[in-house]
Amino acid sequence: MSETFKGKSTSRRAFLRGAAAAGAGALGAGAAKAATPDPLITETQPWARGFGDGVDVTPYGLPIRFEDDVVRRNVDWLTADTISSINFTPIHALEGTITPQGCAFERHHSGAIELAKEDYRLMINGLVETPLVFTYADLERFPRENHVYFCECAANTGMEWAGAQLNGAQFTHGMIHNMEYTGVSLRTILAEAGVKPEGKWVYVEGADASSNGRSIPMEKALDDVLVAFKANGEALRKEHGYPVRLVVPGWEGNMWVKWLRRIEVTDAAVQSREETSKYTDTLEDGTSRKWTWEMDAKSVVTSPSPQAPITHGQGPLVISGLAWSGRGAITRVDVSKDGGKTWETARLAKPGEKMALTRFYLDTTWDGKEMLLQSRAMDETGYVQPTKTQLREVRGLNSIYHNNCIQTWWVKPNGEAENVEVS
């Protein structure tokens, strides 16, 4: 850190002097006044004169009005109706790794339903010794776990397969969020009912009209799956499955069943609609990849990006981005400014954590010339994020899901950025 900084000390100071001097009007004036601590300073700074809001104004605080653009957005052409659609997390405007629930993407197949805790029931049936029905209050009596995990829709970046080139990280990579979940291990719930020896899979479904049933192999069900009722400390938002959703670390978001209603232990996969006609990947030869549950290592530069252009001139520039892998922890991220010809190793804000977002930075100096910005993630299994070309070679152009290819932003001399393809 401090080393990184020292290396740029001079240039940064030069640029800052520039900034302080350049700004005619507001900036110049503000700076001049500020330079001499002066009681009259308040005359130009109304906020320093009177009183602000009291503590009773906002029992539940909302973002300040200046941040009104940092919200989820959906695209009306993506699906037939918004009740069977998705919206996108404004990752271009967020920092760190935690996604606030308020702007965390949502995807559902028949709309976000309203289900009260008192009406909530979770049934465990099928190949178990004791079929059980849990109330919400019952779930609160089992040992709890807390884990930060990312949830990514299998369709994230899907429109890029054929080169749709949506103009912004929010739309190309925003079907993802990262929260601290509190819940009961599915292992605990299954042990309570007693899984019979022939039970090899669980079939999970939601209480909404679509039910969105999915099959999960018993190994995963007994490993790290959570029956979760809190996210970032609070109750789940209605649109995220209040009061209870399934958390399936590292696996595609569609399996994170919301409004979780039933867990049936079966001897084989159910082959439901959501795992046959949907959420499979059609290859060049017409055959389909099935059971593509894990989200492969992936990354994206969130700033600069089309929605977050460079608004300053050349000089010190912070390139910020996100990396993640459904197979474990991110171990390294490289950044390229020339479309993949040369790479620099980025700084990870913290060591990567299993199935959680990792924030990476490249603290650099911009020469004011155009850049072809890319990021390339590596995870603890040794997997390296592929280029779009490499991905197409093995998967063709018919796929929708599981596009984890390297993203390219063309940053122009004026600081604006565009979503482009480089071969």
Residues from 101 through 140 that contact a copy of itself (CB under 8 A): 101-104, 106-108, 110-119, 121, 123, 125, 130-135, 137-138, 140
Binding to a copy of itself by CB under 8 A, coded x per residue (else -) over 65-84, reads -xx--xxxxx------xxx-
Residue closer to a copy of itself by CB (options 245, 392) is: 245
Interatomic CA distance for residues 37 and 336, integer angstroms: 45
Residue closer to a copy of itself by CB (options 373, 406) is: 373
DSSP 183-199: EEEHHHHHHHH-B-TT-
Interatomic CA distance for residues 327 and 292, integer angstroms: 12
- Does 163 contact a copy of itself by CB under 8 A? no
- Counting residues that bind a copy of itself (by CB under 8 A) gives 136
Q: Which residue from 285, 291, 302, 306 is spatially nearest to 402, judged by alpha carbons?
A: 291
Interatomic CA distance for residues 240 and 139, integer angstroms: 18
Residues from 295 through 324 that contact a copy of itself (CB under 8 A): 311-312, 315-318, 320
- Does 16 contact a copy of itself by CB under 8 A? yes
Residues from 238 through 297 that contact a copy of itself (CB under 8 A): 238-240, 242, 259, 261-262, 264
From 23-31, 153-161, 162-170, 370-378, give the range in contact with a copy of itself by CB under 8 A. 23-31
Sole binder of a copy of itself in the list 25, 37, 197, 351 (CB under 8 A): 37
Report how far apart, in Å, the C-alpha atoms of 104 and of each of 90, 142, 151, 353, 373 are.
Answer: 8, 27, 10, 20, 25
Report, in Å, the least distance between residue 9 CB and a copy of itself.
Answer: 7
Instruction: Verify cis geometry, omega within 30 degrees of 0, for the bond prior to 386.
Output: no
Residue closer to a copy of itself by CB (options 113, 372) is: 113
C-beta neighbour count of 291 within 10 angstroms: 11
- Does 95 contact a copy of itself by CB under 8 A? yes
CA atoms within 13 A on the CB side of 144: 15
Report, in Å, the least distance between residue 391 CB and a copy of itself.
Answer: 27
Interatomic CA distance for residues 202 and 125, integer angstroms: 10
- Does 219 contact a copy of itself by CB under 8 A? no
- Does 97 contact a copy of itself by CB under 8 A? yes
- Does 345 contact a copy of itself by CB under 8 A? no
Which structure tokens are listed for 110? 């028949």
Binding to a copy of itself by CB under 8 A, coded x per residue (else -) over 184-213, reads -x-xx--xx--------------xxx-x--
Sole binder of a copy of itself in the list 64, 197, 277, 423 (CB under 8 A): 64
CA atoms within 13 A on the CB side of 80: 4
Interatomic CA distance for residues 93 and 76, integer angstroms: 22
